[in-house]
Structure 1
């Protein structure tokens, strides 16, 4: 994974697609107001500033996909989760990117 994709989200959606196929835990780390304006179907809203205090919500999840508006906050959320021992965390980048992958997978089902 390149430097920018590590920070701002994976531009190669194959890893993201595989995670979505396997029922990934989709987490929108934007603010509640941003989340209310639209997000990915089935996603939960855990704002970036609440991720660390809500780690218990991630404990039994195998694949975790975090995303936001630009990929910056989701990159920070990924780092927080990994620093707390979580593996299989993917920075999905923008919520629109994750939404596109989820919609493609739903069409194939």
Structure 2
């Protein structure tokens, strides 16, 4: 795919180069297609797009400037935020052939795979997993550190400790 065709497919509604999930699905064999989520997220309720290469965001950001500037590249994450960060980093280095999937894997699941309310499915899966992992100590519900580590990126964690704790 040439640069002109790739750029014609991108829009900048949020300030960065983005392509739609259906466009990414139709052209994934013609572009470098990278999921910037953590590896464990690809096996969660949202899954991973077929044919995607996984390079977590932190790893990808160390590679900015080392890639072929001619190869069109499409980045995806859960919602488009992390892939947008990576897109902006590549654009700052002069790349004109990188775009984020608008709406991320959430959009992929609804617009490409035709799944219903993926948010509900994601919440139900997370809630069921959390219920199964919860135990009570001294009257307080808890989960193990191993469970927390294994579910980073799948559920929202809130640290309620005081700064001096």
- TM-score calculated relative to the size of structure 2: 0.47
Q: For 1:43 and 1:68, locate their aligned partners in 2 and report how far apart those are by CA, in whole Å.
A: 11
| Partner residue, 1:106 | none
| Partner residue, 2:98 | 89
| Partner residue, 2:4 | none
| Partner residue, 1:74 | 83
How much is the aligned-residue C-alpha RMSD, in angstroms?
A: 3.2
Once the two structures are TM-superposed, the CA of residue 97 in structure 1 deviates from its matched residue by 3.2
| Partner residue, 1:50 | 59
Tell whether the 8 Å contact from 2:24 to 2:74 is kept in structure 1 after alignment.
Answer: no
**Runs of 5+ unmatched residues, structure 2:** 1-11, 114-165
**Runs of 5+ unmatched residues, structure 1:** 104-109
Q: For 1:39 and 1:14, locate their aligned partners in 2 and report how far apart those are by CA, in whole Å.
A: 13
The structure whose Rg is larger is: 2
SS at match of 1:95: helix
Tell whether the 8 Å contact from 1:25 to 1:63 is kept in structure 2 after alignment.
Answer: yes
More helix by share: 1
